[in-house]
Amino acid sequence: MPAAAKVRPRADHPRPVAPPPRERPARRLTARLRGPALPYLLILPALALELLIHIVPMAVGIGMSFLELTQFSIRDWTTAPGAGLDNYRLAIDFNAPVGQELLHSFWITCAYTLLSVGLSWLLGTAAAVLTQGPFPGRGLLRTLFLVPYALPVYAAVITWSFLLQRDNGLLNHVIVDQLHLTHDRPFWLLGGNSFFAIVVVSVWRSWPFAFLALTAALQNIPRDLYEAAALDGAGMWQQIRRITLPSLRPVNQVLLLVLFLWTFNDFNTPYVLFGRSAPAEADLISIHIYESSFVTWNFGTGSAMSVLLLLFLLVVTAGYLLATRRRTADA
Amino acid sequence: MRRTWTRKLWTAATATALVAGAAACGGGSATSSAGGNGSPKTLTYWASNQGAGLEADKAILTPELKKFEKRTGIKVKLEVVPWSDLLNRILAATTSGQGPDVLNIGNTWSASLQATGALLPFDDKVMERIGGKDRFVANALAAAGAEGRPPAAVPLYSLAYGLYYNKKLFKEAGIDAPPATWDELVADGKKLTGHGRWGLAVEGASYTENVHHAFVLGQQQGARPFTPEGRPAFDSPQQVTAVKDFVDLMAKDRIVNPGNAEYANQQSVTDFARGKAAMLMWQAATSSLKKQGMDAADYGIAPVPLPAKTPPGGKQVTSMVAGINLAVFKNTDNRDGALKFVKFMTGKDEQRILNKTYGSMPPVTDAYGDPAFETPELKTLRKVLADSAAPLPQVPQESQYETLVGNAVKKLFADAASGHPVTESSVKAELTKAKQQMPGGKG
């Protein structure tokens, strides 16, 4: 309805394309629609859906963070008492256990993200560069590299959790029973090792994406650059440093940001690997927030934590884009 | 022509939106009674996973639902929901108002779900329609909602914890009788541990199992999870002792395989069935053990041990009142049908059939007298339920208590397994942390 209202006043103005009054109504309508309103009209369904799918839930989440939403009011939110900033105060009071644990979880997640994104990028770049030149079996190898990306998360990660079990897992079978590296069977899903377990699984899951993006980007670097460099006596390492990496810069800029956001927010991997409450050493923030809201039925606090996370990610993203854009402009 | 149509459509849409909005506003208030009898011919039923798997449950329940359909003409749409999803599904249904008509709930959740107002209260009038409340075993009905309020559900299957022990392994180790005290359990466990075998198996990463044991051992020590005013008291000295004793079975006494700290998918039952562990504390393990190939003659069941000397204030509790309750969603559009279904499911015949199949005990008195409930296992467990079982606290914060304390014990098991010392102060620190995460737990 609003769209039609928008069209009407414009159509009243006499315009060169305006149809003669005697024409059939249907044609008059199409011609009317062909005016400057058309792009907006076309975008309208997308906009409505975007609002429905993204903006409205986000707004609801932000609204929830100002409510004391527990089992007493979950059935009818209008009865939830307002909490003001209490949920936020609880989340960032770093002297109380709730705030302390959130902060702890935040640092763990930062370390996890840095390691995971760094390693994924490194592996992805190395593999992309190494498979750039043609050799027999290249297609097969590339396909193989993409398998972790193609597997459904649950199937892939649950397999990892079987591999990493202490008593019956394949990993311990190999390092304890076959290679006799240690006598004690180490835990991989409990204690300090669980951090490395989640990093490895996360890298395994996300490096194929880096590989895919970089392989595509490498196709755009003109061959002549390498030929010219080779003529000038540049070795492979120099070619990578002086030609490949600078040419990949725009792709890397986006790739790193996307990987960062995905990894920082990833819920599936830790949830499938550790279940609903992760060990303290691998207590990633998405699971932590889930536990704070769903497991303890305290949805307001969980929402407040989510909003804080959203703000943090927005600030990092904005800072990153500003910094990289400036550097690109300088270059 | 087209114009009038559009206008009509808009009017209708606006009216619907307004009505929906009004209904949503009224839904939670005490006076309005959302729900009714709009669709009297169908029911949706969420069953919990009681058998060896979701498919097994479907196979067990479907013939019974057909029987109900034949009698009443009401078609029941069955969905078996796994335990890991059930509470979240119920919460989502509560928030949206779009839920099943009848559903199974863990009986310990009764008070928490009662507080949401999503379930139909079984007041005397409603009770009358399903055959009266006197039919139910008192202990089981006590675990269906907060004291002094009409129950939020009615008991459907009753369960209790028992100590399952492997008769053959006991004989080989020269032990004649199952342990009656914790000291005996530790001594026996030490004799049974070795050569890749362990005295006891626990489900160390399962918060529900953990909190059930923490509760029972706490009762034996005289701990109360909540003060009479309803404030959390998870870190009382008695509770600290109880949790430390429990974790020490792995940390100090070393009769539990450290690998058990990872178990959350009934691996401890598997270990027991395969003879990798000689004892197991579980509820209604019979059907699972049978499925894992363990013969019923190979194991015995005894009550969970007690302390040799009852500590001051301690109670002779060896189990929680475990069980499954049947509830009616307040928003149901077939309330009469739902109550008919509850009456059918809690009736004598169905109770006998279903409890026999699941290895649980009927919570209605008139279902007994069937020889199937006179097996040694059920006799032991019935006695436990009647004499030495206590319901988990029926307070609205119960489900938070379960997750927080259960996860605290899970962390302590993880510490014990990875060789970190488990001390009184580390136990107290975890329990205090759990307490402080409760609303009103900071004091």
Residue B44 has pLDDT above 60, yes or no: yes
- HEC sequence for chain B: CHHHHHHHHHHHHHHHHHHHHHHHHHCCCCCCCCCCCCCCCEEEEEEECCCCCHHHHHHHHHHHHHHHHHHHCCEEEEEEECHHHHHHHHHHHHHHCCCCCEEEEEHHHHHHHHHHCCECCCCHHHHHHCCCHHHECHHHHHCCCCCCCCCCCEEEEEECEEEEEEHHHHHHCCCCCCCCEHHHHHHHHHHHCECCEEEEECCCCCHHHHHHHHHHHHHHHCCCCECCCCCECCCCHHHHHHHHHHHHHHHCCCCECHHHHHCCCCHHHHHHHCCCEEEEEEECCHHHHHHCCCCHHHEEEECCCECCCCCCCCCCCCEECEEEEEEEECCCCCHHHHHHHHHHHCCHHHHHHHHHHHCCECCEHHHCCCHHHHCHHHHHHHHHHHHCEECCCCCCCHHHHHHHHHHHHHHHHHHHHCCCCCCHHHHHHHHHHHHHCCCCCCC
Average pLDDT over residues A210-236: 90
Structure tokens, B49:
């996973």
pLDDT for residue B35: 67
On chain B, the residues whose CB falls within 8 A of the CB of A1 are 10
How many A-B residue pairs are in contact by the CB < 8 A criterion? 96
CA distances (Å), origin B125, targets B153, B328, B336: 14, 15, 13
pLDDT for residue A93: 86
Evaluated on CA atoms B388, B394, B395, B397, the torsion sign reads positive
Contact A188, A182 (CB under 8 A): no
B202 or B5, which is more confident: B202
Residue B443 has pLDDT above 90, yes or no: no
Q: How confident is the model at residue A319 (pLDDT cuts 50, 70, 90)?
A: very high
On chain B, the residues whose CB falls within 8 A of the CB of A165 are 259, 262
Structure tokens, B234:
């998870």
C-alpha span between A274 and B437 (Å, rounded): 21
Nearest chain A Cα distance for residue B24, angstroms: 8
Asked if the Cβ–Cβ distance from A296 to B404 is below 8 Å, we say: yes
Instruction: Considering only the C-alpha atoms of chain A, give the largest distance between any 2 of them, rounded to a whole number of Å.
Output: 94
Q: How confident is the model at residue B252 (pLDDT cuts 50, 70, 90)?
A: very high
Each residue of B386-401: b (16+ CB within 10 Å) or e?
Answer: eebbbbbbbbbbbbbb
On chain A, the residues whose CB falls within 8 A of the CB of B261 are 187, 190
Asked if the Cβ–Cβ distance from B396 to A185 is below 8 Å, we say: no
Nearest chain A Cα distance for residue B418, angstroms: 7
Each residue of A149-174: b (16+ CB within 10 Å) or e?
Answer: beeeeeebbeebbebbbbbebebbee
Q: How confident is the model at residue A90 (pLDDT cuts 50, 70, 90)?
A: confident
On chain B, the residues whose CB falls within 8 A of the CB of A96 are 436, 442
Asked if the Cβ–Cβ distance from A190 to B264 is below 8 Å, we say: no
Asked if the Cβ–Cβ distance from A75 to B407 is below 8 Å, we say: no
Tens-digit pLDDT profile for residues B308-321: 999 999 999 999 99
pLDDT for residue A285: 93
CA distances (Å), origin A122, targets A156, A252, B163: 22, 11, 54
On chain A, the residues whose CB falls within 8 A of the CB of B399 are 71, 297
The domains located in chain A, with CATH, are 46-330 (1.10.3720.10)
High-pLDDT (> 70) share of chain B, % = 91
Identity of the residue numbered B299: Y
Considering only the beta carbons, identify the residue of B10, B113, B437 that sits closest to A98.
B437
> What is the average pLDDT value for chain A, to the nearest integer?
85
